[in-house]
Amino acid sequence: MPHKQVDALIAKYGADIVIAAVTPMLEDSRVETLESGLNSKLQSITVVLENLYDPHNGAAAMRSTEAFGLCDLHTIDGTTGTFKAAKDVSAGTGKWIDLHSHETSLACAQSLKEKGFVLCATVPGATMELEQIPVDKPLAIWFGNERDGLSAEAQELCDHQVSIEMHGFCQSFNLSVSVAMFVHRLASKRRAEVGAVGDLSDERRRHLQARWRATGIRGLSHIIERHVSSLTQ
C-alpha cells in the first residue's frame, strides 16, 4: 500500500491504533530492524534539488540522502517537470524517505524557513567551504541541475553560498557525488552537534513507526477496523 494511503489511515485512526493493530503480525526481528532505522533518522538536515533533468542523478541523490539517514528530500519542479527517480538506481529508498515537491524555489524556501532551517546554496567558487558550514541549526543544502547549476533566484533566497574545496584540474563533481559528499559530512557534524545519532521529534517518530510497520501489509484497512472493533467489545 502506498505511503499516502497508509498515512490517510494513520490520520484517521491515530498512530497508536495502527501500531497496535499491525505489530502482532510482524516478526520480532522485523520490528527491531525498523526501530534501529528510526533511531538513526535525522530530520534537521535536508537536501533540495532544483530543476533536475536526469532521473538517474535524481535517484542517486535520493539514495545517498536516505543512506546517510535523512528523513526528507525536497524537489523544485520549475521548468523541468515533475521530479523523477530511476527505480533501478534508487534501490527502493523511496520507502524510507519523504519526498516534498514544490512548484517554485520561493515556495520551497518559505516552507523551510518557517520550519527553522538555514538555507545553504552550493555554488562553484563560493568562498565558504563545506567544512565551514555551521550546523548549530537545522540546515537545508540546495543543489542545482546538471546543466545550469542553481538558479540566481535560489542563490538569493539562501542564507549562505558554499563550495567544495578542490585541488585537481577538474573543478566540478557529478551532481549525485556532490550530494553524497555534502550529506555525509554535514550529517556527521550535525549528529555530533545534537549529541545523538537521530533527532526525530516524538510525533514524527510515532508517525513513521506506524507507517513503516503498516506498509506492505495486505488488507491493512480491514485489519485496523477489526482491531478498533475489538477494543469496543
Q: What is the pLDDT along the chain (233 residues), one digit of tens a residue?
A: 567 889 999 999 999 999 999 999 999 999 999 999 999 999 999 999 998 877 777 888 888 999 999 999 999 986 555 566 545 444 467 788 999 999 899 999 999 999 999 999 998 888 898 889 999 999 999 998 877 889 999 999 999 999 876 555 555 667 888 899 999 999 999 999 999 999 999 999 999 999 999 988 999 999 999 999 888 76
Q: Same domain for 7 and 48?
A: no
Q: Same domain for 171 and 224?
A: no
Strand partners, 194: none
The closest alpha carbon to 204, from 68, 38, 9, belongs to: 38
Domain that holds residue 21: 3-38+200-231
Q: Same domain for 76 and 171?
A: yes
Buried b (16+ CB within 10 A) or exposed e, 129-154: ebeebebeebbbbbbbbeeebbbeeb
The closest alpha carbon to 58, from 74, 42, 45, belongs to: 74
Number of domains in the chain: 2
Q: Same domain for 167 and 212?
A: no
Q: Same domain for 116 and 55?
A: yes
Q: Same domain for 148 and 218?
A: no
All 3 cell numbers of residue 108? Answer: 520551497
Q: How many CA atoms lie within 13 A of 129 on its CB side?
A: 4
* CA 135 – CA 49 distance, rounded (Å): 20
φ and ψ at residue 12, rounded to 5 degrees: -75, -45
The closest alpha carbon to 160, from 187, 141, 175, belongs to: 141
pTM of the model: 0.89
